[in-house]
Amino acid sequence: MARNFTNIAFTDGVKATQSCYGSREIYDNFAKRGVSEDVLTAKEIEFIAARDSFYMGTVNSNGWPYIQFRGGPQGFLKVLDEKTLGFVDFNGNQQYLSSGNLKDNNRIFLFLMDYAHRRRLKIWGRAQVIDDNPELLNQLADPNYQAELGRVFLIKMEALDWNCPQHIPIRYSEAEVQEMIAPLAARIRELESQLGQ
């Protein structure tokens, strides 16, 4: 059966464009070999738990897309079951563009990047914003992360796709750089200590 993401993303316009540029047959075969239902496996769960940010897309009632960067402590986007994700929306500039867009159109798209290892995961789903569930808010919150908690976003995943690593620039977070240079810094301290003797 067709991969769910091909059913969502490969519209008639996309298929016509694939035909025009010569890739339609490749993706038609890809869809036929795909799984019948997309679920979050151990591979995706581990990847998601290691992320400290992602990009989130919604569409407003005028048909305009809106992309928002979401950041927090590592693992703040949580997998609740094989088809459900959730995260706490921290209070920020109070524009509520994503929350407002989801009132008109509950479709959501998450784009998760791992620049250090050149991997990216795309997730399509339907979201709801929950304002009045303190228990769920506390379940998803990280007590060690200092942020004003707002509401909860719950996402029912409909499809996912791992994207090709080509052209992803390698970038490291500050924590990753510190981890990489720690042995070098230790060796420098050791050598300086030897010189001082």
pLDDT > 50? residue 1: no
Instruction: Output the pTM of the full model.
Output: 0.86
If one compares 147 and 139, the residue with the highest pLDDT of the two is 139
Is there a single domain that holds both residue 138 and residue 82?
yes
Question: Does residue 32 share a domain with residue 42?
Answer: no
Residues 41-86 pLDDT 10s: 999 999 999 999 999 999 999 999 999 999 999 999 999 999 999 9
Instruction: Give the residue numbers spanning the domain of 27.
Output: 1-36
Give me the chain's average pLDDT, please.
90
Residues 17 and 56 in one domain: no
Answer whether residue 137 is part of any domain.
yes
> Residues 2-23: pLDDT tens digits?
588 888 889 999 999 999 999 9
Kindly give the residue spans of alpha helices, DSSP state H, lying in 50-196: 97-104, 134-140, 174-196
Report the pLDDT value the prediction gives residue 42, as an integer from 0 to 100.
95
Answer with the residue of higher pLDDT: 165 or 88: 88
Percent helix, strand, coil in the chain (nearest 5)? 35, 30, 35
Average pLDDT for 168-175: 84
One domain, residues 50 and 18: no
Residue 2 pLDDT: 58
Residues 128 and 139 in one domain: yes
Inter-residue contact 78 to 136 (CB < 8 Å): no
Give the mean model confidence (pLDDT) for residues 34-41. 82
Q: Residues 97-126: what's their mean pLDDT?
A: 95
Q: Are residues 121 and 24 in the same domain?
A: no
Amino acid 54: pLDDT: 97
Instruction: Note whether 66 and 162 are same-domain residues.
Output: yes
Give the residue carrying structure tokens 């500050």: 174
Are 61 and 158 in the same domain? yes
What is the share, in percent, of the chain residues with pLDDT greater than 70? 98
Domain count, the chain: 2
- For residue 93, is pLDDT > 90? no
Question: What band does 192 get if pLDDT is binned at 50, 70 and 90?
Answer: confident
69 and 108: one domain?
yes
> Quick one: pLDDT band at residue 94, thresholds 50, 70, 90?
confident
133: amino acid identity, one letter? N
pLDDT > 90: percent of the chain: 57
Whether residue 124 is found in the same domain as residue 49: yes
What's the CA gap between 121 and 162, in Å, rounded? 5
pLDDT at 35 over 80: no
Q: Are residues 29 and 43 in the same domain?
A: no
